[in-house]
Amino acid sequence: MTENVTKNQRTFDPLSQGRKLEELYDDLSPNKKAPYKKFPNGGHINKEAIDQRWEFLIEQGLEQNTALYANEDLSAYEANIENCIGTIKMPVGIAGPVRVNGTNAQGDYLLPMATTEAALLASYHRGAVVISKAGGCSAVLLSEGVSRSPGFIFKTIADLAGFSHWLLMNKSKIHEVAQSTSNYCQLIDFKMITEGNHLYLLCDYLTGDAAGQNMVTIATQAVCEYIIANAPVQPEKWFVEANCSGDKKTTAQSFSGVRGKKVSVEVRIPEKLVKRFLHTTPQHMVDCWRISALGGVTSGAVGTQAHYANSLAAMFIACGQDAACVAEAAVGVTRFEVCDDGALYCSVTLPNLIVGTVGGGTKLPSQQACLSLMKLPHENQARAFAEVCAAAALAGEISITGSIAAGDFTHAHKHLARDR
């Protein structure tokens, strides 16, 4: 990583000003003289445990804040957090509804979003209305699979080759072992990626209506233990995850394939609707999209899109998803074109929607309430939710591009955020 020299100087000059070099070294050296007291950790969320943690904070000179904890019963959160001291509140708003004509989602869906960013809901609401006025967006779930990538270290490449051959000869048994860990976990397939005497086993699973991160970790642990117990050629070391799966990070591998659920959505918006709701023209929006897409490529972005993370983060928090998965979910491709009849064609493809409607944070009271607002179908619920998430991202791409093309992007944020 490189930094501009002028930026470095602006950062370090105030740090060193008025201090000798020895003093700067002393400030940055390990401090083993000051006493250290560990926070009272644990998974219990009863009143006694939480009061004990607040006693620790009060000893540190802090005051108990009733905005975080007012002696309420927090037992509903016990399976979701450790070291709990209370809860926070975020505003939740509704955008839409957005009409989705999908392979799993069919109907008009409200979009619950939790955010502290003013103007966000207004933008997504406008995009959702435009899509719905045009008859809705078409949504197709193209592929799915949640991956985990254990890594094996061998003494030689010859050992790696013998180990790989055994894996291929025992694929069916490996599938059985994985599936035995859960009624909903199914190992679709695995592939091997090698680098010298290192082997990465990229395992792809189906996880039902759960996002499945923990499910696939447990299954992979069982698979690895079976392999180690039975393979005639043994690795020197192995690890249940070797950072080749793309978990919670942007990777070219998952961008070109799938991690979670891959969804494409599209809509054709008549020119009169573009002018009425977005105050610009289809051609002007395409011009704005084109230079933005090339700007993303020039900056080295994976994919070309404006701001998927805004809707995904807001919906993930509201609906009990793993918010850290936005790091991988918020990649994809947005495309705008002018149709022969002058309408605006818009599409979004998201290959990494790690979402679920059971398990994890979806069990919490507020998050369950937000999911219930969406009235998702009973069958293939997580797949429908993924299509709705993609529709929300499409609404955001349409609205922000229209706002920038019309020249009212800055005014909207100033009016709805700073001056409100």
Of the residues 322, 337, 408, 415, only one is catalytic, namely: 322
DSSP state of 343: P
Please indicate whether residue 51 is annotated as part of the active site: no
| Cis peptide bond N-terminal to 35, omega within 30 | no
C-beta atoms surrounding 180 within 10 Å: 13
Question: 274, 282 in Cβ contact below 8 A?
Answer: yes
77, burial (CB in 10 Å: exposed 0-12, middle 13-18, buried 19+):
middle
Q: Is residue 246 a contact partner of residue 328, using CB atoms and an 8 Å limit? A: yes
Catalytic residue among 125, 284, 307, 413: 413
Dist CA 366 CA 269 (whole Å) = 35
Of 117, 266, 271, 408, which is the active-site residue?
Answer: 117
Sign of CA dihedral 269, 275, 277, 282: positive
Q: Work out whether the CA dihedral 243, 247, 248, 249 comes out positive or negative.
A: positive
Looking at residue 358, what DSSP letter applies? B
Report how far Cα 106 is from the mean position of its chain's Cα atoms: 24
> What's the CA gap between 111 and 370, in Å, rounded?
9
DSSP 8-state assignment for residue 277: I
Active site residue 72: no
Q: Answer yes or no: 307 catalytic.
A: no
* Closest listed residue to residue 260, CA positions, set 269, 247, 275: 247
Exposed, middle or buried by CB within 10 Å (0-12, 13-18, 19+), for 58?
Answer: exposed
Active-site amino acid positions:
117, 322, 413
